[in-house]
Amino acid sequence: MRIQPVILAGGTGTRLWPLSRELYPKQLLCLTGGQSLLQTTLIRVSLLPDILPPLIVVGEEHRFLTRGQVEELKLFPDCRLLLEPLGKDTAPAVCGAALHARREAQEDVLLLILPADHLIAKPDEFVEAVGRACNVAAQGRLATFGIVPDRPETGYGYIRQGEGEAVESFVEKPDLETAKKYLADGGYLWNSGMFVFPADLLLAELRQYAPEILRCMETAVELGRRDKVFFRFDEAAMQQSPAKSIDYALMEKTACAAVIKADFGWSDIGSWSALHEVAAKDAQGNAVSGDVLLEDVTNCLIRAEHRLVAAVGLRDTLVVETADAVLVAPMHRSQDIKKIVSTLKQAERTEFRIHRTAHRPWGSYTALEIQERFQIKRITVAPGAKLSLQMHHHRYEHWIVVRGIAKVEKDGESFLLRENESAYIPLGVTHRLENPGVIPLELIEIQIGSYLGEDDIVRFDDKYGRMPC
């Protein structure tokens, strides 16, 4: 059977706030080098022999960013993105991917299920472990990867290994004393959340142990819509599916589970302290990124994204600076950062959801100044890209070109703007901005009006297929 990689890229990584946001989640961040976690996952997959083009399961809001990162690598031109209209945990995502893969391949395949946001430091050992898992799965087993623990970790679930590849039990995240006992016992492995499943066996087991999930996702795939590289699961059908992880829905119940013992430098980078564990450090144990000055600092993670960060006398501390938020916390409290994100959500603040720089399929914009009746943005439009044809009910816009050439459509008329030239867009006027050049277009946009929210957009036409606001 051929291997069908399935990459789960639907999470938001709240414990890596303020760098990870709802609209720019952990898997799209460059945390340990020049590529994002998603891209490093795709690079690892490319090392495997005889694979089908990957399927990436991703949330609707992240589809263009994800597609852009896939295309940037130029590894998988036939990669398909399966779009989730809403998050339902991993069981519906895996089930939908299996149904789609089975329908497309017209034969049984081995599904290699990989989260997009994990780090693996030893890719050769990863390839070898996948080979072992495929051999076991091809014999009629649902294989999961169990990671050999090197410390008493309380942030991971565990697998109790029986004889051979048998799974004796799955264990919830333990407290510290219990984790120490697991480590001393030697028979416990970290639950990695990575799997190899024969598609037909997976679907048969789901029919027995999670029939409602299977029923809903069969309808979601049957009624789904193809749009170039995207395939959208039907929203109404997926809405009806129970929200469960693949562990709870199936792996803890099936008699077909097997565990593949692996040691390939794995981390799910589920927190800032986990990132500190795997990051390059100086002689004092500090992991530093950006414009940082240290004086008498030990065992800290300090990350500066937009300005100088200076630290004096810190021990075992996290400091993460972004354009609109700064996090400071003891290293051992890094798991509690999700509580801050919950507080931001309850207060309806935007910092949990979006950065000052927001990415769009045509480029990006950065909010430079936000006041009650005006805001100033820097807009960057990629070569050949264009915004939707739109109008606003509550705001006026002034555009000043800083770099490149802009093609402006305004009430049906088109004209070009060059550096240091400007255009005025009155309230209620249909307009569109386009970059006809070969270099990025940069301009300053000044918005003035009684309401400046992003939902004050009425779209009439959009090349990226976004629904009208």
Q: How many residues does the chain have?
A: 469
**127 neighbors 48 (Cβ within 8 angstroms):** yes
Q: What is the pLDDT of residues 213-267, one digit of tens each?
A: 999 999 999 999 998 899 999 999 999 999 999 999 999 999 999 999 999 999 9
For position 3, what pLDDT does the model report? 96
For the whole model, what pTM was predicted?
0.88
CB 420 within 8 A of CB 404: no
Residue 336: name the closest of 289, 271, 384 by CA: 271
What pLDDT was estimated at residue 268?
Answer: 87
Query: What's 104's DSSP letter?
Result: H
Task: Return the pLDDT at 466.
Answer: 74
| Whole-angstrom distance, CA of residue 437 vs CA of residue 441 | 8
**Could you give the 3-state DSSP secondary structure of residue 380?**
strand
From the list 300, 286, 288, the residue with the least C-alpha distance to 328 is 300
Sign of CA dihedral 186, 191, 196, 199: positive
- What's the pLDDT band for 411 if we cut at 50, 70, 90? very high
Output the CA–CA distances (angstroms, integers) from residue 197 to 114, 157, 316, in the order listed: 11, 20, 41
Tell me how crowded residue 229 is: count the other CB atoms within 10 A of its CB.
16
**DSSP H/E element including 101:** helix 90-105
CA distance 275 to 280: 10
CA distance 327 to 337: 9
Is the CATH number 1.10.1740.10 carried by domain 357-461? Answer: no
Provide the percentage of residues in the chain whose pLDDT is more than 70: 99
CATH annotation of 3-267: 3.90.550.10
**pLDDT at residue number 106:** 87
Q: In the predicted model, is pLDDT for residue 23 greater than 70?
A: yes
How many other C-beta atoms are found inside a 10 Å radius of the C-beta of residue 179? 20
What are 168-221's pLDDT values in tens digits? 999 999 999 999 999 999 899 999 999 999 999 999 999 999 999 999 999 999
pLDDT at residue 468 greater than cutoff 70: no
Q: pLDDT digit string (tens) for 424-464?
A: 999 999 999 999 999 999 999 999 999 998 889 999 999 88
What pLDDT does 139 receive?
95
> Mean pLDDT, the chain, as a whole number?
94
> pLDDT at position 212, please?
97
Residue 301 and residue 274 in contact, taking contact as beta carbons nearer than 8 Å: no
Look at residues 452, 467, 464, 450 and name the one whose alpha carbon lies nearest to residue 367: 452
DSSP string, 395-423: EEEEEEEEES-EEEEETTEEEEE-TT-EE
What pLDDT does 153 receive? Answer: 86
pLDDT(30) > 70: yes
Residue 465's pLDDT band, with cuts at 50, 70 and 90, is confident
pLDDT of the residue at 155? 83
Domain ranges of the chain: 3-267, 282-339, 357-461
Q: For 313-440, list the strands marked E by DSSP.
A: 317-321, 326-330, 357-360, 363-370, 374-381, 389-391, 395-403, 406-410, 413-417, 422-425, 431-434
Cα separation values, 361 from 78, 98, 138, 270, 306, Å:
19, 28, 40, 28, 24
Got the DSSP string for 248-309? IIIITT-S-EEEEEE-S-EE---SHHHHHHHS---TTS-EEESSEEEES-BS-EEEESSS-E
pLDDT of residue 467: 62
